[in-house]
Structure 1
Amino acid sequence: MTNSQSILIVDDSAIIQQTTKLILLKGKFEAQRIFTASNAQDAVKLCQRQMFDIIFIDFNLGLGSTGLQLLERLHHNQLIAHNPLIFIVTADDSESILMGFSEYQPTDYLIKPFRLETLTSRINFHFNKHNFDNAVFENYQSNGWFGAQRFLENNSYCDKYWSAVTTLAKRLLINNKSENHTDIELMLNDILQQNDYVPAKLLLAQLWLSQNKLEQLLPFLTSINSSSPQQHLSLLDLKARAAIKQNRISMGYEFWLSAHKLSRNNLYRLFGLIWIEFCLQHDTEIDRHIREACASLRYSIWDRPQNYAFLVWVQLHQHSKKNVPVEKLWGQISQLQKYTKHDRAYLYLLRAYQATETHSTLVAYRDFMTAISSIEELEQHDLSSEFLIIALSVAIRLSMHSHIVKYSQQLAEKFNDNPNEPHNIIKQIWLKAQTAKINENKSAEYKYALQLVKQKQFHIAGQLIVTLWPLYRFDITLGRCIVEMYARGYLDLYLSDKNLIIEARWVFESQENKPEWYLKLKSKHAVLNKPLY
Structure 2
Amino acid sequence: MLSGLDYRDKTFLVIDDQRPFQLMLKGILINLGARLVSLAATGEAAIQAAKERQFDFLLIDYNLGARRKNGRQLIEELRERELLKSDCITIMVTGENHRPMVLGAVEMQPDDYLMKPFSQNLLKLRLEKAYKKRWELRNVFAAMMAKDHAKAITECKRLIELNSRYKNYCNNLLAELLCNAGMYDKAEYILKKLLAQKPYTWGQIQLARTYYHQERYHEAAKLANGVMLQSPLLIDAYDLASKSLLKLGHLNRSLEIAIKATELSPYSISRQYQLCEVARKAEMHEIVKDACHNVLEMTRKSVHQSSVHLYNYIRAAITAAEHAEGNHERNKLKQEISLAIQRSKNDEVQENKQEFTVFESFCQARLDIMDKQLLSAKKQLYKVQKQCLESDEGKVPEELVLDAINVMYNIGEFDLADELLASSNINSHQNTFITANLAYLKKESEETQKNFYHYNQEGIEAYKDKNYQEAVYKFDLALTQAPMHTGGTLNLILAILKLIENTDKRPEDLTKRLKLAFSTLDDVDLPESQQTRYQELQKQYQVFFPAKK
TM-score in same-fold range (> 0.5):
yes
The corresponding residue for 1:148 is 159
Q: 1:326 and 1:26, CA in 2 relative to 1: closer, same or farther beyond 3 A?
A: same
Alignment partner, residue 242 of structure 1: 244
5+ residue gaps, structure 1: none
- Alignment of structure 1 residues 294-333 onto 2, 5 Å: 295-296=297-298, 298-300=300-302, 301=304, 303-305=306-308, 306-317=311-322, 318=324, 319-324=330-335, 326-331=337-342
**Cα gap change, 1:119/1:347 in structure 2, threshold over 3 Å: closer, same or farther?**
same
Matched letter for residue 343 of structure 1: F
- Cα deviation digits, residues 283-310 of structure 1 (max 9, x gap): 7866765665565453352642332333
User: CA shift at 1:206, angstroms?
Assistant: 1.9
Aligned-pair CA distance for 1:404? 5.3
1:326-376 deviations in whole A, cap 9, x for unaligned? Answer: 441334678755672332222111110001122222321132235556678
- Residue 191 of structure 2, aligned match among 168, 179, 188: 188
Q: Deviations over 1:211-265 (max 9, x none)?
A: 323243233334436654542x221111111112223222211111121221222
- Which of 350, 356, 363 is matched with 2:363 structurally? 350
Q: Does 1:36 align with 2:40?
A: yes
Change in CA separation of 1:503 and 1:291 when aligned onto 2, cut-off 3 Å: same
**What does residue 138 of structure 2 align with?**
134
2:290 is aligned with 1:280: no
Contact residue 55 and residue 84 of structure 1 kept, 8 A: yes
Which residue in 1 is equivalent to 2:58?
Answer: 55
The answer on whether the counterparts of 1:64 and 1:299 sit within 8 Å (CA) in structure 2 is yes
Aligned partner of 2:73 in structure 1 is: 69
| DSSP-derived class of the 1:438 partner | helix
1:119 aligns with 2:123: yes
Aligned mates of 2:539, 2:83 — CA distance in 1: 63
Asked if structure 2 preserves the Cα contact closer than 8 Å seen for 1:474 and 1:507, the reply is no
Q: Which residue of 1 aligns with 2:448?
A: 438
- Of 382, 387, 390 in structure 2, the residue corresponding to residue 369 of structure 1 is 382
Q: Measure how far apart 1:111 and its partner are.
A: 2.6
SS at match of 2:522: helix
Determine helix, strand or coil for the equivalent of 2:301.
coil
Query: Is residue 262–residue 271 contact of structure 2 (8 Å, CA) maintained in 1?
Result: yes
Change over 3 Å in CA distance of 1:467–1:55 after alignment to 2: same
**8 A Cα contact 1:89 1:110, kept in partner:** yes
Distance 1:7 1:454, change over 3 A: farther
Stretches of structure 2 lacking an aligned partner (at least 5 in a row): 144-149, 325-329
Give the whole-Å Cα distance in 2 for the aligned partners of 1:142 and 1:496: 72
Q: 1:262 & 1:361 partners in 2: Cα distance?
A: 43
Check if 1:508 corresponds to 2:510.
no
Q: Is the 8 A contact 2:224 2:237 kept in 1?
A: yes
Give the secondary-structure state (helix, strand or coil) at the position aligned to 1:63: coil
For the 8 Å contact 1:90–1:112, the answer to whether it is kept is yes
The one-letter code sitting in structure 1 at the alignment partner of 2:116 is K
Higher alpha-carbon deviation: 466-475 or 421-430: 421-430
RMSD of aligned alpha carbons: 4.9
> Which amino acid letter does the alignment assign opposite residue 411 of structure 2?
L
CA deviation profile, 1:184-235 (whole Å, cap 9, x unmatched): 444433432332211122122222222323243233334436654542x221
| Separation in structure 2 between the aligned mates of residue 48 and residue 500 of structure 1, nearest angstrom | 64
> How far apart are the structure 2 equivalents of 1:525 and 1:46?
74
CA distance in 2, matches of 1:379, 1:66: 40
Distance 1:91 1:290 in 2: 29
Distance change >3 Å, CA 256–CA 100, structure 1 → 2? same
CA contact (8 A) 1:23 1:116 kept: yes
Paired position in structure 1 for 2:167: 161
Query: Once the two structures are superposed, what CA deviation does each residue of 1:468-520 show, in whole Å capped at 9, x if it has no partner?
Result: 445455545556677899999969642244331111223337x89x9689789
Using structure 2 for the length normalisation, give the TM-score.
Answer: 0.74
1:106 equivalent in alignment to 2:110: yes
Give the 5 Å matches for 1:73-84. Answer: 73-74=77-78, 82=86, 84=88
Tell me, in whole angstroms, the C-alpha distance in 2 between the residues paired with 1:284 and 1:308.
11
More displaced stretch, 92-101 vs 351-360:
92-101
Q: Which residue matches 2:327?
A: none
- Shift of residue 456, structure 1, vs aligned partner: 11
C-alpha contact 2:19 2:41 (8 A) present in aligned 1: no
Distance change in 2, residues 1:517/1:278 (3 Å): closer
Secondary structure of 1:320's counterpart equals: helix
> Counterparts of 2:157 and 2:511 in 1: how far apart (Å)?
85
Q: 1:178-217, aligned counterparts within 5 Å?
A: 178-179=182-183, 181-217=184-220
* 1:96 corresponds to: 100
How many residues in Structure 1 have an aligned counterpart in Structure 2?
513
Q: Map of 1:340-419 to 2, 5 A cutoff? A: 340-372=353-385, 383-384=398-399, 387-388=401-402, 390-403=403-416, 414=427
CA distance in 2 between partners of 1:321 and 1:26 (Å): 59
Hey, what's the Cα distance between the residues in 2 that align with 1:269 and 1:426?
A: 15
Q: Note if contact 2:211-2:220 (Cα within 8 Å) is conserved in structure 1.
A: yes
Q: Is the 8 A contact 2:459 2:473 kept in 1?
A: no
In 1, the alpha carbon distance for the partners of 2:295 and 2:260 equals 17
SS at match of 1:92: coil
What is the alpha-carbon distance in structure 2 between the residues aligned to residue 507 and residue 455 of structure 1? 31
Secondary structure of 2:59's counterpart equals: strand
Residues 240 and 252 in structure 1, CA contact (< 8 A), matched pair in contact too? yes
Give % identity: 17
Which range is displaced more, 81-90 or 500-509? 81-90
Contact 1:245 1:422 in 2 (8 A): no
Q: Give yes or no for contact 1:8–1:37 (8 Å, CA) kept in 2.
A: no
Describe the SS at the equivalent of 2:110.
Answer: coil
| Cα distance in 2 for residues equivalent to 1:244 and 1:529 | 62
CA distance in 1, matches of 2:76, 2:394: 25
Amino acid at match of 2:340: L
1:123 Cα offset (Å): 1.6
Distance in 1, Cα, partners of 2:76 & 2:152:
29
Separation of aligned partners in 1, 2:406 and 2:388: 17
Is residue 362–residue 503 contact of structure 1 (8 Å, CA) maintained in 2?
A: yes
Q: Does 1:494 align with 2:496?
A: no
1:436-468 deviation per Cα after TM superposition (whole angstroms, max 9, x unaligned): 433335436646877999999999977765654
- Judging changes above 3 Å, is the alpha-carbon distance between structure 1 residues 517 and 13 closer, same or farther for their aligned structure 2 residues? farther
Equivalent-residue separation in structure 2 for 1:128 and 1:475 (angstroms): 68
Residues in 2 aligned to 1:46 and 1:219: alpha-carbon distance in whole angstroms: 47
